Amino acid sequence: MFDLKDKIALVTGANRGIGEAYVLHLLQAGAKTIYAAARDLDNLTPLLARNPQVIKPVLLDVTNAEHIKALATQIPALDILINNAGIANACSLSADNALQIAHTEMETNYFGPLQLTQALLALLKKSPLAAVINVSSIAGISSFPMMGPYSASKAALHSFTQGLRIELAADKIQVLGVYPGPIDTRMTEAFEMDKPKPSQVAERSFMALDNGELDVMPDDFSAQMYAAFLNHPHELEKAFAQMQ
């Protein structure tokens, strides 16, 4: 059982999309304090209006080591860390700018969560019931067409999630990997297809946490793709190749 009531949580990239959905779910479930992290505090105004007593704005660009250092001294306690902030570019691995895009995406999608988690681990270890939720992607399980560099950054986050879970097993900190397919946020506005709402990702993530699951495929697309992967990793690769 992982009851969200009275918990203290921090959500990165909280100002929109899936991050905002995590904050709203935590609020509804009775969390005590929700640190909503964003790299531009003005973008948090509509979210803070929901409940300024519970939702606290914090400045955080996950690629900024100074922000991370300041945040770690600003927060007195923490039960749940949600590494949600991320960027995605449409870019193939053979494109001229693939190296530059790969560096940028690794900074935000992998090094950011790694550094932030390290900085907040001491607080999480003091909590009687703690969790780290890492928002990877089904593209982190098998490289998605036209998003090769992004997929590699999400595969790195997937590996980090597994490694952290192993390292923290004795500390009883739950580490949950979240692997969505296309979700209806600004990130996928160019994809014309039926997409679940970000609230579904939040709801299924917390359900998985409560059930003690290690990872969650929060939508039909990712669940189907993961089933193909479990059948045989190359089956998913072939399915993605046909989507090009």
Ligand X SMILES: NC(=O)c1ccc[n+]([C@@H]2O[C@H](COP(=O)([O-])OP(=O)(O)OC[C@H]3O[C@@H](n4cnc5c(N)ncnc54)[C@H](OP(=O)(O)O)[C@@H]3O)[C@@H](O)[C@H]2O)c1
The residues binding ligand X (CB under 6 A) are: 12-13, 15-19, 38-40, 43, 60-63, 84-88, 108, 135, 137, 180, 182-183, 185-188, 198
CB of residue 172 to ligand X, shortest distance in Å: 26
126 in Cβ contact with 135 (< 8 Å): no
Nearest CA among 236, 31, 222 for reference residue 135: 222
> Which residue's entry shows tokens 């973008």?
43
Rounded Cα distance between 11 and 47, Å, is: 12
Q: Cα(37)–Cα(107) distance, rounded to whole angstroms?
A: 17
* Closer of 32 and 197 to ligand X (Cβ): 197
CB of 86 to ligand X, least distance (A): 2
Cβ atoms 184, 197 nearer than 8 A? yes
22, 150, 179, 226: the active-site residue: 150
**C-beta of 63 vs 127, nearer to ligand X:** 63
Q: Is the dihedral of CA 9, 107, 136, 87 positive or negative?
A: positive
Cβ 153 to ligand X shortest distance, Å: 8
In the bound state with ligand X, the residue whose beta carbon lies nearer, of 108 and 174, is 108
Residue placing its CB nearer to ligand X in the complex, 90 or 169:
90
For residues 61 and 235, which CB has a smaller minimum distance to ligand X in the complex? 61
Q: Please state the length of the chain.
A: 244
Active site residue 110: no
By beta-carbon proximity to ligand X, the closer residue of 65 and 127 is: 65
* Terminal-to-terminal C-alpha distance of the chain: 42
In the complex, least distance from residue 67 CB atom to ligand X, rounded to whole angstroms = 8
Q: What single string gives the DSSP state of each residue in 74-124?
A: H-S--SEEEE-------B-TTSTTHHHHHHHHHIIIIIHHHHHHHHHHHHH
Collect all residues with Cβ–Cβ distance below 8 Å to 208 and sequence separation of at least 6.
176, 178, 215, 216
Minimum CB–partner distance for residue 169 and ligand X (Å): 25
Torsion of CA 29, 47, 84, 132, to 10 degrees: -30
Rounded-to-integer distance, Cα 133 and Cα 176, Å: 5
* Least gap, CB of 148 to ligand X (angstroms): 14
Residues designated as active site: 150
